[in-house]
Amino acid sequence: MEYRQLGGSGMMVPNLALGTATFGGSTPFFRNWGTTQLEEATRLVDMALAAGVNFFDTSDTYSDGLSEEILGRAIGRRRDGVILATKATFRSEPGPNGRGSSRYHLLRACEASLRRLRTDYIDLYQMHGFDPLTPVEETLRTLEDLVRSGKVRYVGCSNFSGWHLMKSLAVSEKYGLPRYVVHQAYYSLLDREYEWELLPLAEDQKVGTFVWSPLSGGKLAGKVRRGQPLPEVTRLRAEAQGDQLQDERLFTIVDVLDTVAAETGKTVSQVAINWLLQRPTVVSIILGARTEDQLRENLGAVGWNLTPDQVARLDAASDRTPIYPYWHQRGTIGTRGPVEMV
């Protein structure tokens, strides 16, 4: 298993992580993602660890905390050998202070996550979204207290806009507060909007990218093809709108994935994940497997690399015209480099 630097920190993590949003399924929303209970979750954790994947991601909002509880029990006595990442900010309690990134909420949320995960520290504590109400200084000073207390080792963010992240980094630098080392973000061959602003920002500021939904919610898992019906049992039936599954760009990407998969002897999913592993700033990719077969297949995305030509063909098939101001920047300063003085 390849290890990569966790953003600008000194910590190394495997380039694959096991996501646990499928654990529990105790709410209608997360039931569509999966209903993995302790016995099956333990087998998935065992399989991941056997493959060298000791990085696990969860959140206090996944099935109202049940995901954290199941993960903590599945890890059991192996805590010292794993890297635990969880998230806070979204609603985890009733009442006006039951969500957000305030000192009040984060301190309570962290203690609750520690109890459910059966641990006394969290390796990577991520803000699940930006809280526009709470001052950034309050959030970061609370995270500093958690780091100083030993309850948190590194901090990250998720689903931020560019200005959210840059403002947070500026406040960290100004006051000497903990810095977000990774940004957990939605990124795939089908969904490349991350590249328009957040990826250049991550390169410039040495913030690692921790990818969620690398197969675009299953649309790049080989189940969606031009002129073919969906399988009877799939998350796509419950979540995707009809026009999302009849998109010509999606079909074009899948056509090239099929071709490259045949050339490499790999599956469509493995090719799509390997493409992501070659993108700048990507530290690790979260695998959201519901079954052992899915996890086994996705673990096969590492240990080899696409050729430059294969990457270029996938780039071309998945390219799209960005929104303003990014299309304007692409056509003007996007390719600017050193020039001779005249």
Provide the β-strand partners of residue 158. 184
Q: Which residue intervals of 187-325 are DSSP H helices?
A: 198-205, 235-239, 248-264, 268-277, 292-299, 308-318
Catalytic sites, residue numbers = 62
Residue 102 has which token pair? Answer: 């305030």
Token pair, residue 334, equals 């996007």
Determine contact, residues 36/290, Cβ cutoff 8 Å: yes
* Structural tokens at position 253: 């990407």
Strands (DSSP E) contained in the chain are: 3-5, 12-14, 16-19, 55-57, 83-88, 122-127, 152-158, 180-186, 208-212, 282-287
* Residues 6 or more apart whose Cβ sits within 8 Å of residue 130: 101, 157, 159, 160, 161, 164
Contact 260, 267 (CB under 8 A): no
Closest CA to 62 of 27, 96, 36: 27
Neighbours of 122 (CB within 10 A): 23
User: At CA 188, angle to CA 186 and CA 192, rounded to 5?
Assistant: 80
CA 295 distance to own-chain centroid: 16
How far is residue 48's CA from residue 206's CA, in Å, rounded to a whole number? 28
Return the amino acid letter for 39.
Answer: E
For residue 142, the one-letter residue type is T
Tell which residue, 215, 256, 250, 248, has the closest CA to residue 234.
215
Q: Retrieve residue 251's tokens.
A: 């079909």
**Collapsed DSSP state (helix, strand, coil) of residue 269:** helix
Q: Is residue 31 helix, strand or coil?
A: helix
